[in-house]
Amino acid sequence: MNKISLKAFCAVLACLGPSADLYAQDKSDTLDKIKSTGVITLGHRDTSIPFSYLDDAQRVVGYSIDLCSRVIDQVKTVTKRPDLQVKYQPVTSATRIPLLANGTIDIECGSTTNTVERQAQVAFSSTTYLTTSNFVSKKSAGIRGFDDLRGRTVVSSAGTTSLRLLNELNAKKGQGMSIIPAKDHAEAFLMVATDRAAVFVMDDVLLAGLIANAQDPSIYAISSEFLSVEPYAIMMRRDDPGFKQLVDATLGDAFRSGEFERTYRKWFESPIPPRNINLKLPMSEALKKAVLHPTDSADPAAYQ
């Protein structure tokens, strides 16, 4: 991760904000494009509650969206485009990386896990959330752990690390699971709700959001057993150090000022749209550590 010098940080406080001084040090094709066109295109998810989703008025909202809004404010300052137009482009687990790589979107603000494999294709900001890969099932099914999935129909969202881990587990243990890739989280959860799949394997916080907004949340349970620890981050194009510095510096400023903690409480410890349900998920000790010592590491061991 790029570190901010004391001189640069002082300049940040005195002048235009954390990203302005840093952008002067490194070129950014993304920022040049945004300045030239007057448009920044933000990739978002439709159903990744509470990170990036559509509320009951079809507005794009969420924790990741709020963090990216701070980045956009800095982009306006750096590019001297206060009139910058923000376009919202829906993406899925399968399309988010291709749409970023081909320039359709400039930044992806969703619920994307930072992995070593993905780092070969894209860049990630400092970690903004830590989750684990669990499964949701109906309580009546009596499924306690992954060993109970032998021979069952299981669903996960296409293009996700959870789907990859599930396939690896199935092959390693020879469990004979029938694994279905759903187009998105909403479709996958619906398959469990309608008994077309026994479980939906996905990040625990996304499962919590789907359950909270279900017709009857009381009938579902999230497994205590999980497959991996997953660091979430904002995703950008590779080989653009200026833009990454801007994003990391903006997050760093939010970490130091307490704004990040306030944003966290807004989405994880307060009522959220569309049903004003409180997820009641306090910040983990691992995430608190990542806020004090920002990192863009994809290694789960870095967060223990």
Task: Give the span between the Cα atoms of 100 and 98, in whole angstroms.
Answer: 5
Q: Indicate where the chain has its CATH 3.40.190.10 domain(s).
A: 6-128+233-303, 133-229
Mean pLDDT of 142-164: 96
What tens digit of pLDDT does each residue of 280-297 get?
899 999 999 999 999 999
What tens digit of pLDDT does each residue of 67-120 get?
999 999 999 999 999 999 999 999 999 999 999 999 999 999 999 999 999 999
Mean pLDDT of 23-50: 90
Mean pLDDT of 39-67: 97
pLDDT of residue 23: 45
**Angle CA(79)–CA(84)–CA(86) in degrees, nearest 5?**
125
Task: Give the span between the Cα atoms of 68 and 70, in whole angstroms.
Answer: 5
Task: Give the span between the Cα atoms of 179 and 99, in whole angstroms.
Answer: 26
pLDDT of 301 above 80:
yes
Cis upstream peptide for 82 (omega within 30°) = no
**Exposed/middle/buried for residue 237 (C-beta within 10 Å: 0-12, 13-18, 19+):** buried
231 vs 22, higher pLDDT: 231
Mean pLDDT of 29-50: 96
Mean pLDDT of 160-168: 96
Query: pLDDT confidence of 27, banded at 50, 70, 90?
Result: confident
Given 3.40.190.10, 3.40.50.720, 3.40.50.1460, 3.30.420.270, which CATH number is that of 6-128+233-303?
3.40.190.10
pTM above 0.85, yes or no: no
Say whether domain 133-229 belongs to CATH 3.40.190.10: yes
**Angle CA(72)–CA(23)–CA(36) in degrees, nearest 5?**
60
SS (H, E, C) 138-162: EHHHCCCCHHHHCCCEEEEECCCHH
Query: pLDDT confidence of 16, banded at 50, 70, 90?
Result: very low
Q: What is the DSSP string of 7-31?
A: HHHHHHHHTT-HHHHHHTTS--HHH
Place of tokens 């293009």: 159
Strands ordered across the beta sheet of 107-108: 85-90, 39-44, 107-108, 235-237, 122-124
Name residues whose C-beta falls within 8 Å of residue 133's C-beta, 6 or more positions apart in sequence: 161, 162, 165, 201, 202, 203, 204, 226, 227, 228, 230
Name residues whose C-beta falls within 8 Å of residue 171's C-beta, 6 or more positions apart in sequence: none
The least confident of 17-21, 117-121, 195-199, 298-302 is 17-21
Cis upstream peptide for 274 (omega within 30°) = yes
Instruction: State phi, psi for 97 to the nearest 5 degrees.
Output: -70, -45
In 3D space, the residue among 72, 77, 66 whose CA is nearest the CA of residue 17 turns out to be 77
pLDDT of 167 above 60:
yes
Query: pLDDT confidence of 26, banded at 50, 70, 90?
Result: confident
**Exposed/middle/buried for residue 81 (C-beta within 10 Å: 0-12, 13-18, 19+):** middle
Average pLDDT, the chain: 91
